[in-house]
Chains A and B, each alone.
Chain A
Amino acid sequence: MNTALAPVEQLLIGDFWVLWYAKSNTYSIVNTEFKLLLDEYLVSESKTQFLNSLYFEEDKELQNKIVENLFSYLQNCNSPYSKSTTSTSTDLDKRQRYISKQYNFEHKIVQVNYCSELVLKTIHPSIAHYCNISKSKVDVLFDVYLKENHLHLFKNEELISYVPKKDYHYIQGKFIMQLLCELHNKTEKDWIGSLHGSTITDENNAILFVGKSGKGKSTLCALLANTDLKLLADDVSPLLSKDQHIYYNPSAISIKQGAFKLLEPLVNNFNKLPIVDFNKTKGNLKYLPCTKPKQNHYPCRAIILVNYKPESKTLLEPISIKTILETIIEDSWLSPKPKHAEQFLSWLKNMKLYQLTYSDTTCVTKEVSNLFKEL
């Protein structure tokens, strides 16, 4: 019955089944009881056959409710995936090249042309620490400009994306993805996804730190990057299909004003970093550049949900896959390809999952260092 609606991938991770539906690129997390009923529903040849397996034939109303719930669940999980499309008809407007910056990423020189100081602030501050050259031979050329209330992004004079200006974070995300492809010699199709979280490495293994905005994720990573550990990626952690490693993202850590006071005495020269006041509703930001790790990629062994809580003790405790996925999936880009979904689920199953509650900066860095030793 309705086998066309069945999940294409499924894996038991801890106490929960994680199911993936290809049609919609939807991830669903269910408990074992739900999974039993769903499997029975899907293998039953008719509604009657399914109802006969429920062993409480006397209650028709309740039986029907169960069938209705399962059917509507499957409908929800199979609503077609429509990818946002970018028109390719827009031509590059070279008159918009008012500001040019060149960035030196070891073996690659990247030039970005911006139409104004305000547009420059969408991209430049997070990679400003690589902007130390000029007039070199350029390997990759980007153009970012605002025209007719839309932000445009071109790479080597080809349109990559354009979005209404209020959605500028899509241009930031697209730019980072294109930059990652260039720096690591990949194409977009090579990535399983870009996970919303920051990754720290001890140069053997890596840990992905996730958490909703304001939970102390970036602050913690700034603290950790100030120890023997290194920042591999801030905010956007790219996961490659080939080796399932997380790759280096050159962006600096974006720190919100609320954390300035805490970090000033702990991070060298923090007070000398310029303040960026790009988005008034988001408040002032500082971008903290970090030392690059030796390698470009490391295997991730654990995911930590960061939970800053004033006055709390440092507490590292196991957490369910359900809580982790509820935190990251909807803020991450994940490839809709079945191969990538299968790899993502297997990758998740190998992760150790924790919640880290903290307030004391010394204790929390010690706790994370100890965890690295156990990986």
Chain B
Amino acid sequence: MKKENNTDKITRKEAISKMGKYAALTAVGTFVILNPLKAQTSSAPNPGGDPFS
């Protein structure tokens, strides 16, 4: 974990103290998680096709 200085800590604590409880709840529900492909591909084909038959 990164080391933080006291200014960071105070600023964050102040900002959190100003956050209303519903704002905090909304905030923790709004995030995006994205996983890249594990191998290289070209554009994915449309599903259902078997070009080799």
Interface residues of A (CB under 8 A from B): 3, 6, 24-31, 33-34, 36-37, 39-40, 42-43, 53-56, 59, 62, 65-66, 69-70, 73, 76-77, 81-84, 118-119, 121-122, 146, 161, 165-166, 168-170, 172-174, 176-177, 193-194, 196, 213, 235-236, 254, 278-282, 322, 325-326, 329-334
**Contact partner of A235 among B28, B29, B42, CB < 8 A?**
B42
Task: Tell me, yes or no, whether B43 is within 8 Å of chain A by CB.
Answer: yes
**Contact partner of A84 among B16, B23, B39, CB < 8 A?**
B39
Contacts of A56 in B (CB 8 A): 20-21, 24
Contacts of B17 in A (CB 8 A): 53, 55
A325 touches B31 (CB 8 A): no
Closest to A217 in B: B43
Given known A169-B43, A173-B42, contact A65–B31 (CB-CB < 8 A): no
A331 touches B44 (CB 8 A): yes
Interface residues of B in 1-53 (CB under 8 A from A): 1-2, 4, 9, 12-13, 15-17, 19-21, 23-25, 27-52
Contacts of B1 in A (CB 8 A): 3, 6, 42-43
Contacts of B33 in A (CB 8 A): 26-28, 73, 76-77
B34 touches A83 (CB 8 A): no
Contacts of A334 in B (CB 8 A): 36-37
Q: Closest CB-CB distance, A316 to chain B, in whole Å?
A: 24
A326 touches B34 (CB 8 A): yes
Given contacts A28-B32, A194-B40, 19 further A-B contacts (CB under 8 A): A6-B2, A25-B35, A27-B34, A33-B24, A37-B16, A42-B1, A54-B16, A55-B16, A55-B19, A56-B21, A59-B21, A73-B28, A76-B33, A170-B39, A174-B40, A193-B36, A331-B37, A333-B38, A334-B37
Given known A30-B30, A168-B51, A332-B37, contact A213–B43 (CB-CB < 8 A): yes
Contacts of B23 in A (CB 8 A): 33
A333 touches B34 (CB 8 A): no
- Listed by A's residue number, 27 A-B pairs whose Cβ atoms lie within 8 Å are A30-B31, A33-B23, A34-B28, A36-B15, A36-B27, A39-B12, A53-B17, A59-B21, A66-B25, A73-B31, A73-B33, A82-B38, A83-B38, A118-B52, A121-B51, A169-B42, A170-B41, A213-B43, A279-B49, A280-B51, A281-B45, A282-B46, A282-B49, A331-B44, A333-B37, A333-B38, A333-B40
